[in-house]
Amino acid sequence: MAANKEKAVRKDQAGAKDVVRVTFLGGLGEIGRNCMAIEQDGRIIVIDAGLMFPEPMMYGIDLILPDFRWLIDRRDRVDAIVLTHGHEDHTGALRYLVKDVNVPIYGSSLAIGFARHRLTEARVARDLDFIEVADGERRRIGPFDVEFIPVTHSVPSAHALAIHSRVGVIVHSGDFKLDPTPIDGRRTDLSRLSALGDEGVALLLADSTNAEEPGFTGSERAVGGALRRVFLERPERRMVVACFASHIHRVQQIIDVALEQGRRIALMGRSMEANVKLARKLDLLHVDAADFIDVETISRYQPGEVCVICTGSQGEPLAALSKLSRGDAKFMRVGADDTVVLSSHPIPGNEWSVGRVIDDLHRAGTEVVHSEHEPVHASGHARQGELRTYHQLLKPRAFIPIHGEYRHMVHHVALAASMGLDQRRILLCEDGDQVEVTPAGIRRSGQVPAGFHYIDGSAGDLDERPLEERRMLAEFGVLLISAGVDARRHVLSQPVRVTARGWFDGESDRDLIAAVTNEVNDALQDAVREGRYDESSLNKVVQRAAGRLLGQKFRRQPVLLPAVIVLE
Ligand SMILES: [Zn+2]
Ligand SMILES: [Zn+2]
């Protein structure tokens, strides 16, 4: 009897407490600003805090962050931030988050090294507690035991996380591919993942970036072979290779190929120099100091004697490659003796900027080799074949796709279902969704604000409104409409004047401005006749009259700046 009673009490406690809540703050529905919170007994750990780069239509926007308000409101309950790896879409928003949520930051030595460097640059690193973890390590973090499982990706030392909770193991895949021949020999730990699968995985959260792509992502090692061939065919030319500065294994392969040919290495771009320095210090990049030359001395060498490794493979306007393409780089000019290799693939949204850089390089007479000519790039994300293997090993009881545009996640859902997982155990979530994990399964439990948080480098934080205004300014221009009203004589003392910016000088726009002038003049005359003399209501009269005419008759919505002055 006593035993039964005890069991009932235990069950009741368990019933109340056997819940883990997952809150998605970013990365579900976009590539970027990855961030989620996992919560048990009221304690929270944050996984990743990434940024996203803006689309061309987001005028003046430099960065997009997750909306951290939900986390900031609960800052007393947050125990830690855990980084899966060192990419910006997972770490780039840290410098904004740690201002309000100052908790220990866990990650591999490289992820911590990258993050610490960025936070130091932003002058927010001083009081922060960085905790480096080793491959396979299992740590008590907040209410959870968190295990760091090695995975292969386009940055070294990436991890999947096995979060041991009261409702079972939650596996967060991190960004990964299953590269059987990685440069550093550090493979995705399939045997550990498979052991977790045998023990039972309550929930799998997995990278969806390449879920639309059939087959398998090529090994990073194959890129080395392609680079070697491109170099061998051009012994007399100066080779300039652009890639992500965090892609240490790519940098290693470029260096190895260049050194085989007796070339010296010059680095261009601040982040390339900083990351190479850090990776050498951590023994993740192997090259002698004597193999480097200063880019300032590059003109002393024959083209065939050097290889430049630079940033800017995404066409970023301020990065080294863009400067080279425009002839703006300090110590070097590219021309007919150079071959530029883009060892990268444009991230969606960057195609246009990359195209412009390639055009400018051609204009300078430079040869350009990119991934559509030669296989000089491999993705860091698993394709369908690898994802199937992953699901098969982990045999999760429930699944939620993460890290992808909406269509990628839809394809990942279909893939999970094709592996035999019951549709009711798969949730397609988006930013802001909350999910509860219990021993019985998963269910949606709520929603939190998770819109885009825009950062304009010169203006600071922005919400959607000024951005909408910038879009309208860009699309329709602006009309300044001024007039003067004499309150004593009940007349317009200054005629209505319309000044346009972003409008054409041509006839149609001139006619339109004349029509606006007439319409506003009539509306103001009527208002004055009715005895209305306060500036704000007269400004509204102007706004309404011009807005109606332009919108209804001409389908235009310029930003309207009414400026009526009343003389008393
Ligand atoms: Zn990544
Ligand atoms: Zn990522």
pTM: 0.87
pLDDT attached to residue 10: 43
Residue spans per domain, the chain: 32-215+379-456, 220-369, 477-567
Which of the ligands is closest to the CA of residue 403? 2
CA of 38 to the centre of ligand 2 (A): 18
In angstroms, how far is the first alpha carbon of the chain from the final one?
A: 92
Distances (CA, A) of 474 to 178, 324, 509: 45, 29, 16
CA of 90 to the centre of ligand 2 (A): 6
CA of 452 to the centre of ligand 2 (A): 17
CA of 207 to the centre of ligand 2 (A): 8
CA of 259 to the centre of ligand 2 (A): 31
- CB-proximal residues (5 Å) to ion ligand 1: 87, 175
pLDDT attached to residue 15: 41
Measured CA to CA, the distance from residue 207 to residue 213 in angstroms comes to 13
Both tokens of residue 249? 């294994």
Which of the ligands is closest to the CA of residue 380? 1
AA identity, residue 421: L
Which of the ligands is closest to the CA of residue 246? 1
Which of the ligands is closest to the CA of residue 159? 1
Three-class SS of 199-255: HCEEEEEEECCCCCCCCCCCCHHHHHHHHHHHHHCCCCCEEEEECCCCCHHHHHHHH
CATH fold of 220-369: Rossmann fold (3.40.50)
Which of the ligands is closest to the CA of residue 90? 2
Q: What does the DSSP 8-state code read for residue 290?
A: G
CATH fold of 477-567: Ubiquitin-like (UB roll) (3.10.20)
Q: 492-533, pLDDT tens digit by residue?
A: 889 999 998 888 877 778 888 999 999 999 999 999 888 888
Give the chain's residues under pLDDT 70: 1-16, 458-460
Which of the ligands is closest to the CA of residue 86? 1
Q: 407-417, pLDDT tens digit by residue?
A: 999 999 999 99
Which of the ligands is closest to the CA of residue 153? 1
Which of the ligands is closest to the CA of residue 151? 1
Which of the ligands is closest to the CA of residue 51? 2
CA of 489 to the centre of ligand 1 (A): 70
Measured CA to CA, the distance from residue 131 to residue 125 in angstroms comes to 13
AA identity, residue 520: V
Which of the ligands is closest to the CA of residue 111? 1
CA of 238 to the centre of ligand 1 (A): 31
CA of 89 to the centre of ligand 2 (A): 5
Helix axes 535-548, 507-529, angle to 10 degrees: 140
CA of 178 to the centre of ligand 1 (A): 14
Which of the ligands is closest to the CA of residue 34? 2
CA of 198 to the centre of ligand 2 (A): 28
- CB-proximal residues (5 Å) to ion ligand 2: 89, 175
AA identity, residue 394: L
Which of the ligands is closest to the CA of residue 158? 1
CA of 155 to the centre of ligand 1 (A): 7
CA of 504 to the centre of ligand 2 (A): 43
The backbone torsions φ and ψ at residue 325, rounded to the nearest 5 degrees and listed phi first, read -65, -30
Contact 22, 37 (CB under 8 A): yes
CA of 365 to the centre of ligand 2 (A): 35
CA of 40 to the centre of ligand 2 (A): 25
AA identity, residue 168: G
pLDDT attached to residue 531: 83
Among candidates 45, 49, 52, which has minimal Cα distance to 78?
45
Which of the ligands is closest to the CA of residue 176? 1
Residues pairing with 159 in the sheet? 150
pLDDT attached to residue 62: 82
CA of 553 to the centre of ligand 2 (A): 47
Which of the ligands is closest to the CA of residue 31? 2
Contact 487, 567 (CB under 8 A): yes
Which of the ligands is closest to the CA of residue 156? 1
Both tokens of residue 52? 């996203």
In the CATH scheme, what is the homologous superfamily, with its name and number, of domain 32-215+379-456?
A: Ribonuclease Z/Hydroxyacylglutathione hydrolase-like (3.60.15.10)
CA of 405 to the centre of ligand 1 (A): 15
CB under 8 Å to 508, separation ≥6 — which residues?
none
CA of 153 to the centre of ligand 1 (A): 7
- CA torsion 350→355→360→366, rounded to 10°? 110
Which of the ligands is closest to the CA of residue 89? 2
Which of the ligands is closest to the CA of residue 27? 2
